């Protein structure tokens, strides 16, 4: 079917589809026009964005000692599991998932399963292991 459709492409259609493209451009050079900044956005200096100076920059919260201890424990356990299985640590859980565990500190499988990055399979495979670590590191 696709060959029948391709057969209907006439030279006029091909010309319209390729208009503005330089088919003879040297390899590695884009035949498409470059996107250069114009207008007020181009005049901004580096580090300035829309609304710069209106509000103070958001600073990330400094983790407590208990949060840092839990973070390190979760990462260490993830690394050991990854080595046992011969996979990279992110296959077990991504850093963002571990960070969310630290932030939420779930107490049961139901709450752990609500964290993005933890599906049914990972919940069944690793849920109790990581819940035990979280329970061993109470918040301060």
To the nearest whole number, what is the mean pLDDT of the chain?
Answer: 75
Terminal alpha carbon distance of the chain: 66
On the 0-12 / 13-18 / 19+ scale of CB atoms within 10 A, 14 is: exposed
Number of neighbours of residue 123 by Cβ within 10 angstroms: 18
pLDDT band at 11 (very low <50, low <70, confident <90, very high): low
In this structure, are residues 94 and 78 in contact, taking their beta carbons and an 8 Å threshold?
A: no
Give pLDDT tens digits for 62-85.
678 889 999 999 999 999 999 999
Give Cα separations from 137 to 28, 59, 125 (angstroms). Answer: 54, 25, 21
Segments making up each domain of the chain, as ranges = 65-136
Query: CATH number of 65-136: 3.30.450.90, 1.10.150.80, 1.10.40.60, 3.40.50.720?
Result: 1.10.150.80
Residue identified by tokens 């990055």 is 117
Q: What is the pLDDT of residues 19-40, one digit of tens each?
A: 554 445 455 544 444 444 444 4
């Amino acid at each position: 079917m696709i060959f029948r459709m391709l057969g209907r492409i006439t030279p006029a259609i091909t010309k319209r589809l390729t208009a503005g493209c330089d088919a003879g451009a040297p390899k590695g050079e884009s035949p498409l026009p470059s996107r250069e900044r114009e207008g007020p956005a181009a005049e901004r200096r580096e580090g300035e964005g829309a609304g710069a100076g209106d509000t103070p920059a958001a600073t990330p919260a400094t983790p407590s000692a208990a949060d840092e201890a839990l973070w390190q424990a979760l990462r260490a356990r993830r690394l050991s599991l990854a080595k046992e299985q011969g996979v990279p640590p992110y296959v077990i859980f991504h850093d963002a998932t571990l960070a969310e565990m630290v932030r939420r500190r779930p107490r049961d499988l139901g709450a752990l399963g609500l964290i993005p990055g933890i599906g049914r399979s990972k919940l069944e495979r690793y849920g109790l292991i990581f819940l035990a670590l979280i329970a061993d590191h109470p918040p301060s």
